[in-house]
Amino acid sequence: MNEPVSAELIYLASQSPRRRQLLDQLGVPHELLLPGADEDAEALETQLSGEAPEAYVRRVTGNKLAAAEARLAARGLPPRAILCSDTTVALGADILGKPADADEALAMLRRLSGRTHQVLTSVSLAWISAESGLWQRAQALSVSSVRFAEVPEAVLRRYVASGEPMGKAGSYAIQSQIAAWIAHIEGSYSGIMGLPLFETAQLLRQAGWEL
């Protein structure tokens, strides 16, 4: 694990197609480093009692990175940089994670309707230093605000019925049809999608990439 890291390819430890698209937008070649059947990936996202949204998303991203590093070693893969990201939606101090079912998705969307919430995305990168040959780690955080207009109940129900909210923090994706009801955004659009490009580029430059 102390060989020089390849600057041409990184591992993305995420199943999100949106994060793959965003890395492509940066021009960063990558391949997936996903959990195996023996890993409980969902357990990494368990909330702790009283945990603040920022502390939560930073901790989860760090846990995902540690799990990906262990996965890399266990599989005997070539040592390349590893990128992880996690996104959460916060309404005040309340964390709105991925809905368990359609009823929970509808309840979350009702809470977001007509209100402003925050989207927090943490990015973690591990790479091998060209100078020391040792693994280095860094993390960055993007916080954005999103305001929904009042969304009619019938629209919310159709959106939930489409299946789009499932697997999404806060029960929505900004690049989906629900965007027609987003009145204002302040912050990073790519961060709301799941991988803030500015912060990700900063981490990659810190690790020696030329973008």
Query: Strands, E, within 3-149: which ranges?
Result: 10-12, 30-32, 82-91, 94-96, 116-128, 135-148
* Residue 118 CB partners (closer than 8 Å, separation 6+): 53, 89, 90, 91, 143, 144, 145, 146
What φ, ψ does residue 174 adopt, rounded to 5°? -65, -25
CA distance 53 to 57: 6
Whether residue 86 lies in the annotated active site = yes
Identified catalytic residue from 24, 38, 40, 86 = 86
Phi-psi region for residue 107, left (φ > 0), alpha (ψ -120 to 50) or beta?
A: alpha
Provide the annotated active-site residues: 86
